[in-house]
Amino acid sequence: MEVKGIRKSYQKKEVLKDVSFLAKTGQCIGILGGNGSGKSTLLSILAGIQRADRGSFLWEGEDLFGKPGLRERLVGYVPQGTPLLEELTAWDNLRLWYEKDQLRKELRDGALAMLGIPEFLKTPVRKLSGGMKKRLTIGCAIANRPKLLLLDEPSAALDLVCKESIADYLKEFKRQGGMILLATHDVQELALCDAWYVLKEGVLVPYDYDGDIHRLAGFL
């Protein structure tokens, strides 16, 4: 997968300036940066929520910007917010994305079981905790078994149990050959990454993260 020359401006402010990087099978790419640095904008462009002013999003030579159907099959997106129907149960939200037989199998011994979703399956979304909602959002995003998962700060403000559940799933996703693009500030999530980039003033640059969070904070 290659992101090449992405540019995005709002009025006169250039938020993304020629953003480019590569990702390989089984790799997690960490996108780091301060608030307002453009991380969410980049992920939403790759997910098809916003349009780039310029650039390409290449998968095996195909530009996914020009092939929304192919992008929908290949890419799963988990935004910062909760794109769930609050009045429906977790089961009913999942049924919007899964065929019934596939859903039952995933809940029994698949990714949804790993995410711990069966424990709150019949609960209305409005009554779920933040961690439960995030795990359910990930469950909906992986219905098509995407090859690439875009995650925008997935464990922000979650408790340790939820973070561990999400981390375990992401490790398994990588092990099975999936690619992950992860916008994060979380130290635990940084450890999941195989390569790191910092987005600052619209420019994306490689960063060699060695576990020194103080050095990273100074770089941001």
* 42 pLDDT more than 90: yes
Q: Is the pTM of this model over 0.85?
A: yes
Residue whose tokens read 């992405």? 6
**Spans of all domains in the chain:** 2-87+144-219
Phi, psi of 120 (to 5 degrees): -130, 30
Lateral strand order in the sheet of 203-207: 75-78, 148-152, 179-183, 28-32, 195-200, 203-207
- The CATH class that applies to domain 2-87+144-219 reads alpha beta
Residues 186-208 pLDDT 10s: 777 888 899 999 999 999 999 88
**What is the spatial distance between Cα 60 and Cα 35, in angstroms, rounded to a whole number?**
32
Beta bridge partners of 148: 75, 179
> What's the chain's average pLDDT?
92
**Can you name the residues that pair with 179 across neighbouring β-strands?**
148
Q: Does residue 157 or residue 166 have the better pLDDT?
A: 166
**pLDDT digits over 92-124, tens only?**
999 999 999 999 999 999 999 999 999 999 999
